[in-house]
Amino acid sequence: MADSGRLNKRWTARRDRRERRSHGGAGLRACRRRGSALVAVLWLSAALAAIAFSIASTVRGELERTSTQLDGTRAYYLAVGGLERTLLYMQWGQQFQQPDGSPLYFPPGVNRLHLVFPTGEADVRVLPESSRLNLNQAGPEELLRLLGALGVERDRAAEIVRAVADWRSPSLEGPLTEFDRYYLSLTPSFRSPHASFRETEDLLLVKGMTPELYYGTYQRDAQGGWRAAGGLAQCVTVRGSGPVDVNTAHPAVLAAAGLLPDQVELLVRARREQPFRSLAPLRNMGIAPEILGRLGVGGSQIYTLEATARVRTPDGALSDAVRSVAATVSFQGAGPETGYEVLRWNERAWVKDAP
C-alpha cells in the first residue's frame, strides 16, 4: 500500500509538471502574439505620423505659396496705382502752380516719388527720355565713350559701335558686309535690317552684345556687398532727342556727353543733394561750354515711369513680395480724356537703382 501511495504521488507530480509546462508554453505564445501586435501598432502609428507630417508640410507650403501669390497680386495693383497717381501729379504739376510760379504737385528736377497708401507703399522713378542717348542719332564717339563708361574693353566696344552703325545704315546694292555674313552664319540666321532701331531690345541681336551688357548686372562694391550696375537699357532710347537731362541721366550717359570722370562724380553728388534748376551751377564745375551745349534740365515730353510696390501685412510690416511695373508715356499729342498716351507697358519690370 505504501508503494502504491508513493506511485500515485509521483504520477500526480508529473501530471502537475506537464500541466504547468503546457500552460507556460501557451502563456509564452500569447505573450509573443501580444508583442507582435504591439510592434505592428507602433509601426502603423509611425507610418500614420509620417503621413500626417507630410500632409501638414504640404498644406503649410501651399498656404505660404498662396499667401505670397496674393501679396504679389496686391503689390502689382499697388504699383499700377502708384504709377497712375504719379501721372496724375505730373498733369497737375502743369496746371496748378504755387504763388512763386513753380508747379504745386510735381516740381522740376524731381525724379522719384515715395507714395504711401493704406495698404502699402510704392516708389516711382520718373525718367525723361532726354536722360538717354538716342540710339539712332548718337555718333560713334558718343557710343564709344558710353561703352567705355560701362566697363567694356576698347576693342570690343569699337566692334559693337561698328555693328550698330552697320545695323542702322541704309542698305546699298552690293556685296554683303562682314556683319551681314556673320548674322547669316547664325542659327537661326537673319539679315541686318539696315534701318533705324525700332526698340532698344534690337541691340541684343547686334554682334558683340550680351544680355549682361544690355540689361546690366550686379557687381561687388568696396564694402564687399553687391550693387546693381546699369546696362545699355538704362542709357539709350529710340524716342526723343535733344540735350541730356543732368538730373536723371545715368553717369555713363554723362560720360558719353563728354564729361570727365571727376566731373561726373561731382555732378552726381550735387544732384543728390538738390536737383539742378538751371545749368548755371555747372559752369562752376569747369565744364567746357561745348559740352554744356549738350546738357539741359528736363525738356522732354516722353517719360519712362518705373513703379515698385510692397503691400503691408496685418502686423503693419511690409511684405517680402515686391512687384514692379513700368510704362513709357507721351504727353505730346495725347487725347483730352487722359492727357497722355501709353507708348509701352511692362508688366514685370526689372527695376534697379540708378548709381
DSSP conformation letters of 157-190 = HHHHHHHHHHHHSPP-SSSPPHHHHHHHTSSS--
Give the pLDDT band (50/70/90) at residue 102. Answer: low
CA distance readout (Å), 355 to 10, 132, 284: 109, 14, 23
**Residues sharing a CB contact under 8 Å with residue 127, sequence separation 6 or more, in sequence order:** 111, 248, 303, 304, 305, 306
Closest CA to 138 of 172, 168, 158, 178: 168
Q: What pLDDT does 185 receive?
A: 93
Residue 333 has pLDDT above 70, yes or no: no
**Residues sharing a CB contact under 8 Å with residue 311, sequence separation 6 or more, in sequence order:** 71, 74, 75, 78, 119, 120, 318, 319, 321
Between 247 and 348, name the one with better pLDDT: 247
203 Rama sector, left if φ>0, alpha if ψ -120 to 50, beta otherwise: alpha
Residue 277, SS3 per DSSP: coil
Strands 244-245 and 295-296: parallel
pLDDT 10s digits, 202-223 = 999 999 999 999 988 877 666 7
Kindly report the pTM of this predicted structure: 0.74
Strand blocks (E) in 33-175: 112-117, 120-128, 133-134
- Percent of the chain having pLDDT more than 90? 39
> Are 304 and 343 spatial neighbours (Cβ–Cβ below 8 Å)?
no
Cα(222)–Cα(58) distance, integer angstroms: 43
